[in-house]
């Protein structure tokens, strides 16, 4: 996330430099991560954009192409990175991530253990939450996936906050060096119950654990294992429903006291006292409706707190 200085504080309060990673925003569903290179160009449907024109501009700037088209240059925040990163595995999205950060009580200075790393979506948010003095140790059993995640963390500037390890946490558990030191542990594993005993040993007294599972059978078995050494066990499912809010033209000539089947009555913005509906048969109305792109079930989040001995 672009480190500002040696204190590892994440900040975007500076201008874009050669070598920076920026999020090129065309529209809400069309974004891409681009590394700024002074002699490079970006070509898209809006024209050709010279990277040299980007250098020295603050994040959030609107830049123009040779054809007069434009894009926005945004900072690679964890939220935007989640939307543009390469999907090496199924990732956690913003709704689940926000609950994980909150319920695990991750704050600056925390030591967080994570398994598995996957595409690194959650890891990036963990890094911002623990900065500037905390650290995230994330593990994946797949060596190439771990190497790709390590490269991504270098690109986004959080490598001083994240250490990536290759390890089978289900079979071998977490390294003993973290015993009793972790504030929080996050598990995204096929059989999380196998790693729960090791996670318990890593946690401080009153430390918190979260397990993400796509199937309820995984949740049930994990909860059985958690009962012996954990308390405050709870499972949540986050269902996010997006809405589209936009202005439409209403044809009042087709509305018949709310009884017309062609144009059913809807809530709409009230016209001003100076305007008359009769003056214009078609007037704008602000309407909201569920988005067709709304995602459903992603998985179950099980939280628990280590019992105090």
Residue ranges of the binding site for S-adenosyl-L-methionine:
119-122, 140, 168, 188
- CA dihedral over 84, 86, 91, 92, signed as positive or negative: negative
Strands 203-213 and 182-187 come out as parallel
Q: Among all chains, which residue has been given the structure tokens 């309820």?
A: 216
CA atoms within 13 A on the CB side of 214: 7
Q: Decide if 104 contacts 129 (C-beta within 8 A).
A: no
The neighbouring-strand residues paired with 136 are 112, 162
The neighbouring-strand residues paired with 243 are 290
305: how many CB neighbours lie within 10 A of its CB? 19
Q: Decide if 125 contacts 110 (C-beta within 8 A).
A: no
**Which residues are annotated as part of the binding site?**
119-122, 140, 168, 188
**Burial class for 74, CB neighbours closer than 10 Å (0-12, 13-18, 19+):** middle
Nearest 5°: the CA angle 137, 138, 139 is 125
For residue 136, CA distances in Å to 18, 37, 46, 81, 133 come to: 28, 30, 40, 17, 11
């Amino acid at each position: 996330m672009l480190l500002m200085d040696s204190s590892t504080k994440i900040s975007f309060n500076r201008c874009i430099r050669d070598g920076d990673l920026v999020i090129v925003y065309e529209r809400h569903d069309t974004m891409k991560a681009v590394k700024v290179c002074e002699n490079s160009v970006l070509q898209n449907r809006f024209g050709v954009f010279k990277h040299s024109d980007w250098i020295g501009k603050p994040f959030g700037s609107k830049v123009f192409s040779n054809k007069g088209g434009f894009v926005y240059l945004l900072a690679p925040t964890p939220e935007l990175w989640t939307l543009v990163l390469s999907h090496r595995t199924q990732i956690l999205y913003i709704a689940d991530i926000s609950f994980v950060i909150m319920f695990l009580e991750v704050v600056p200075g925390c030591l967080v253990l994570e398994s598995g790393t996957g595409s690194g979506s959650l890891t990036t948010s963990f890094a911002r939450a623990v900065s500037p003095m905390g650290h995230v140790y994330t593990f994946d059993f797949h060596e190439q996936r771990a190497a790709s995640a390590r490269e991504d963390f270098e690109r986004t500037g959080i490598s001083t906050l994240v250490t990536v390890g290759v390890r089978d946490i289900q079979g071998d558990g977490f390294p003993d060096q973290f015993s009793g030191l972790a504030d929080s542990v996050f598990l995204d594993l096929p059989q999380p119950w196998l790693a729960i005993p090791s996670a318990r040993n890593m946690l401080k007294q009153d430390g918190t654990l979260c397990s993400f599972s796509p199937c309820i059978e995984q949740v049930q078995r994990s909860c059985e294992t958690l009962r012996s050494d954990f308390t405050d066990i709870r499972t949540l499912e986050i269902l996010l429903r997006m809405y589209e809010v936009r202005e439409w033209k209403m044809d009042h000539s087709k509305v018949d006291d709310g009884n017309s089947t062609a144009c059913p009555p809807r809530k709409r913005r009230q016209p001003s006292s100076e305007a008359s509906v009769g003056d214009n048969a078609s007037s704008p109305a602000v309407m909201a409706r569920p988005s067709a792109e709304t995602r459903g079930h992603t998985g179950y989040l099980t939280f628990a707190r280590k019992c105090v001995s």
